[in-house]
Chains A and B, each alone.
Chain A
């Protein structure tokens, strides 16, 4: 058995998260500048709606039934939705764990929460309640798709913390959106990724791919030393140490449980296709 000397966070994931957060923030700022005629030429000035893959999901009904897009949504959103779905079929909701800037911000707030609450962090909500709350995001998904379909407007943008995060300086954000963002960020101080766990409609949709994704997270029982670090470090509180294959609908493919990160034994928790 080959045991690693130290376990560590995946630096490459942090780098990718910072890159996408910076990219989206720059595009959002450039969009505001472009509206004033001061946009930066080499950078995209697309609206946030145009580069949000969830827009491609909520417009599908209208696209199929009338051949048009929901207000403020464009072809780019549908293209992105397709690409993210392809990635999810391969690796699960890797978009949530590696790309989504709202998830990244929640993790940054979570780091502060971990310093404050230490071991109690991410374990405040009783398991019974938590388990039920985890299905709330499917209700949100159903509501958003239904309301968008019957109204032809982006109903969700008034509640969307992602939109609020990158537009708070514009005066275009509804009060409800700012409240949801505030609650999400404050909640991140006690629970890791509360929006992703309990309310994100896009996470709900992508989470379904965990049931049939091509590359799955697998735990090799023969080399596992039952240290439980994989379960303890999982931001979504999945009991990885009790599973051979992670098929939990909440997995965000962050790979923090794997032998590349927290698992101290090499080749024991891995992302793989097939048994090995």
Chain B
């Protein structure tokens, strides 16, 4: 049987686009990481089973996504983190906060994705470990206190880790601050951060011994090609704590 170019073209197009259509119908056509946070499991907190887990808020989430997933009014988030009125919340990511307050923070202080996790958890009354320093702007702490659902331990934690900071006054100023931070980051050639894409292989390559990783995880050394984040999520470990410990090992602090 002979096959001419026209028929072959039709077969090629049908197989490619038909295959994609079929995969889409079967839910197999995913072109990006799932952007839905994991949900709290049984035993995480009484009565909160099935809620989205604030610990799984990623630095790539926009504030609009956080608002949608956790049903927190966007204006409340804007106010809490001092974001200018004209900033596009569908684009501005929680991880972008890290560069927002520039030189108002000391070296051991950070307002970033971790701060959003803390704010969301306390706002919604969801579980969150108060074991590591996690800083919030004063406005965020005031909003949480005004809701009146915090216990004494949490109030004390907030008092200890609340910072008086001022965000840039408009979107243009935010962009300028971010550009400056990006430039500094590039110049310093920093490779010291552990993010959602970092694998154990990269942590090992950064000079952290395997024994130390095992110690931090409290588990056997995982497959090197796994990302730290996925491993933590699958094994119920707090990613922020593991990330902090690994970063400290990498920087030698």
Contact = CB atoms under 8 A, between A and B. Distances in A.
Contact of B31 (A44, A98, A99, A272): A44
A71 interface: yes
B8 A271 contact: yes
A150 to B, nearest CB: 7
Interface string B15-33: 1100110010000111111
A87 B12 CA distance: 7
Contact of B16 (A13, A36, A83, A255): A83
Contacts of B6: 12
Interface residues of B, number: 35
Interface in A95-113: 98-99
Interface stretch (A61-69, A116-124, A161-169, A223-231): A61-69
A37 B90 contact: yes
Interface in B1-20: 1-6, 8-9, 11-13, 15-16, 19-20
Contacts of B90: 37
Contacts of B3: 91, 215, 271-273
Contacts, number: 118
A216 to B, nearest CB: 10
Contact of B2 (A10, A87, A94, A272): A272
B1 A150 contact: no
Contacts of B8: 91, 94, 215, 255, 271
Given A75-B29, A76-B31, A151 B5 contact: no
A126 interface: no
A75 B226 contact: no
A79 B225 contact: no
B227 interface: yes
A16 B201 contact: no
Contacts of A276: 1-2
A33 B3 CA distance: 41
A175 interface: no
Given A74-B30, A153-B201, A276-B1, A98 B12 contact: yes
Contacts of B32: 46-47, 50, 74
Interface in A219-276: 255, 258, 260-261, 267, 270-274, 276
A189 interface: no
B92 to A, nearest CB: 9
B201 A79 contact: no
B4 A99 contact: no
B94 interface: no
Interface in B178-219: 197, 199, 201-202
A57 interface: no
B91 A36 contact: yes
A99 B2 CA distance: 22
A75 B12 contact: no
A156 to B, nearest CB: 15
B15 A79 contact: no
Contacts of A84: 16
A153 B28 contact: no
B224 A270 contact: no
Given A62-B225, A74-B32, A83-B15, A152 B201 contact: yes
Interface of B: 1-6, 8-9, 11-13, 15-16, 19-20, 23, 28-33, 88, 90-91, 197, 199, 201-202, 223-227, 230
Interface of A: 10, 12-13, 16, 36-37, 44, 46-47, 50-51, 62, 65-66, 68, 70-72, 74-76, 79-80, 82-84, 86-87, 90-91, 94, 98-99, 149-153, 215, 255, 258, 260-261, 267, 270-274, 276
